[in-house]
Amino acid sequence: MKIFIDSADLNEIKEAFSWGIIDGVTTNPSLIKKALAGKNLKIDQYLQELLTLTRGFPVSLEIEGEENGQIREEQMLREARNLYHQLKLFNPAFNIKIPVNPTLNPTEKHAFESLKVIKTLTKEGIPINATLIMTPEQALLAAKAGARYLSPFLGRIDDYVQSGKENKGIKAGVELIQEIKAVLNHYSFHTEIIGASIRTIEHVRECAKVGVEISTIPFKIIKEMIAHEKTYEGVKKFQEDMVPEYREFLRK
């Protein structure tokens, strides 16, 4: 399983990459807002630093596509092309993140505009991460449109189901991942699933057990993955029991 760090904090990303186990980065507008808070850093400078730091690794940057209070196909296309062609020199591996359904409520009539954008941009060679996927059906549609990555949200589905709401037969975030994999395994889509909205190390374990291609994990959760009280205890005991002759031999 590939591990992406779900962060926009340059210091977090740099440290995580130094560990040698990070395969990419996902961001979103909320993470970027948090990362830039209180910093005297212009957005173009920040984006260039982010992509230079992660050069050669996939990085997801999200567009908005808002026009007159609604998200529209042409505006999404303009923003995606602008973002991609301005920044691909810093990291050709970065991709554009687009909500699988751009409408703000069920009464809007433009639910399929993101799929049209994914189809168009994919034909232009711009890789897409279809995000905010909550059902296998959404994942199937995004895969058919040509999305390079699919990002189903485990944590948000768990929250939704635990609040008492019915999610079209999906009872947990991990079940969403399982169902998407079961559907896609029948076909030859060139796409990878990114387990997203990960809140706990249990979410990471569930993604790994299911065999998801990628999990995008917050910095805090990645650090929790390496920690265990009995490991600390064992290191301390081995240090205490190290005979001086062996220690001396090790250090020659």
The pair of three-digit structure tokens given for residue 244, joined into one six-digit string: 């001086």
**What is the tens place of the pLDDT at every residue in 64-85?**
998 888 889 999 999 999 999 9
| Residues 6+ positions from 50 with CB-CB distance below 8 Å | 8, 10, 13, 25, 27, 59
Q: How confident is the model at residue 102 (pLDDT cuts 50, 70, 90)?
A: very high
Task: Give the separation between CA 106 and CA 119, rounded to whole angstroms.
Answer: 23
> Domain spans of the chain?
2-250
Give, to the nearest 10 degrees, the angle between helix 113-123 and helix 73-87: 40
User: For 112-120, what is the mean pLDDT?
Assistant: 97
CATH 1.10.150.20 fits 2-250, yes or no: no
Nearest CA among 89, 153, 164, 76 for reference residue 120: 76
Task: Give the separation between CA 21 and CA 13, rounded to whole angstroms.
Answer: 12
Which residue type does 148 have?
A: R
Whether 97 is a known active-site residue: answer: yes
Which residue type does 35 have?
A: A
Q: Is 90 helix (H, G, I), strand (E, B) or coil?
A: coil
Question: Is the confidence at residue 11, as pLDDT, over 90?
Answer: yes
**What is the tens place of the pLDDT at every residue in 162-221?**
998 888 889 999 999 999 999 999 999 999 999 999 999 999 999 999 999 999 999 999
86 versus 252: which is more confidently predicted? Answer: 86
**What is the tens place of the pLDDT at every residue in 217-245?**
999 999 999 999 999 999 999 999 999 99
Average pLDDT, the chain: 95
Q: Is 157 helix (H, G, I), strand (E, B) or coil?
A: helix
pLDDT of residue 45: 93
Exactly one of 14, 97, 181, 237 is catalytic; name it.
Answer: 97
User: For 133-150, what is the mean pLDDT?
Assistant: 97
Query: Dihedral of the CA atoms 228, 231, 232, 237 (nearest 10)?
Result: 160
